Amino acid sequence: MSHAFSNALVKRLRAAQGFIFDMDGTLVLGDAASGGHNPLPGAVDLLAALRSRGVPFRVFTNGTAKPPATYAAGLRKVGFDLRDEEMMTPSTSAAQWFLKQGIGKVRVLGLDGVAQPLVAAGIEAVGPTAEAEGVEAVYTGWFKEFTFPALEAACQDLWNGARLTTASNVPFFATATGRAIGSSFAINAMLKAMTGKQARVLGKPSVDAFRVAMQSMGLPRMAAPKMVVVGDDPALEMRMAVSAGAYGVGMTTGLMKRSTVRGLAAAERPHALLESLEGLADKLR
């Protein structure tokens, strides 16, 4: 089955200097049985078409359960032509933000998936309950193993002047079996209640994250209007696209539905809405 793509949309996509794709609900759907990914129709072809044209792209998931290279390997396994450095998580952009701020010591409320990109960037990652002096920031991510001692340690750091940062601050995310709690949202709420500090979001939808993605593709800031962000979550990809001045393509293959888009605030509304990526590669080749 092929889908209609308006001429205006095709023109816009052909002129794009770079793409940022969401992963779940946009390029793939999670396979609950295997823990792997099922590519959505047209997704593998679309990335291949961009590759053949030499158009840079990033796949940016807001999950921090695994390090970026592990997600990239999972996507290659189901057919995507994707290099490790083309995969991003919030910790990829967080690492760059910490470096820019001159922050070198961070307490990580999360496991290896959250901490690994920070460590790779040369940042000292302090474990959730480790005793440490001089922690400059607390960073929260996917952390189902959260414990009361971790809460106490993070509060001490924050009371001592550390900044509060987070991978993601959305309450729920979609899974094959329904909605699941975003662990960092719940942890951030506890930390705010205890310290009064509001977590700064370093993953999607922050413009910081958008800029790190652009920079990693070798694109200047002024290219933002020629960037295309493709995703299924109004609060993440569409909000990021709108606030960064990029072009947002919404997908109805995940959270967004055609019937709900009209009710969205302008800050979260897609510029174009697609029901499938199938056939789009042929339009862009």
Determine what percent of the chain falls in helix, strand and coil, rounding each to the nearest 5.
40, 20, 40
Question: Is residue 24 at the binding interface for Mg ion, with CB under 5 A as the rule?
Answer: yes
Taking the least distance from each CB to Mg ion, the nearer of 99 and 170 is 170
Question: Looking at 9, 18, 22, 92, which residue binds Mg ion (CB under 5 A)?
Answer: 22
Q: How far is the CB of 97 from Mg ion (least distance, A)?
A: 22
* Cα→Cα distances 275→26, 89, 99, 181, Å: 10, 25, 39, 26
CB within 8 Å of 17: residues ≥ 6 apart: 55, 56, 219, 223, 226, 227
Question: Looking at 18, 25, 56, 182, which residue binds Mg ion (CB under 5 A)?
Answer: 25
Question: Is residue 268 at the binding interface for Mg ion, with CB under 5 A as the rule?
Answer: no
Taking the least distance from each CB to Mg ion, the nearer of 157 and 233 is 233
Question: x-or-dash pattern for Mg ion, window 203-242, by CB under 5 A?
Answer: -----------------------------xx---------
Neighbour count for residue 77 (Cβ, 10 Å): 10
Per CB under 5 A, the segment of 18-26, 64-72, 186-194, 257-265 that binds Mg ion is 18-26
Q: How far is the CB of 265 from Mg ion (least distance, A)?
A: 19
Q: 153-178 b/e with 16+ CB inside 10 Å = b?
A: bbbbbbeeebbbbbbbbbeebbeeee
Taking the least distance from each CB to Mg ion, the nearer of 21 and 98 is 21
Q: Side chain identity at 176, as an amino acid letter? A: A
Which residues would be at the binding site for Mg ion (CB under 5 A)? 22, 24-25, 232-233, 254
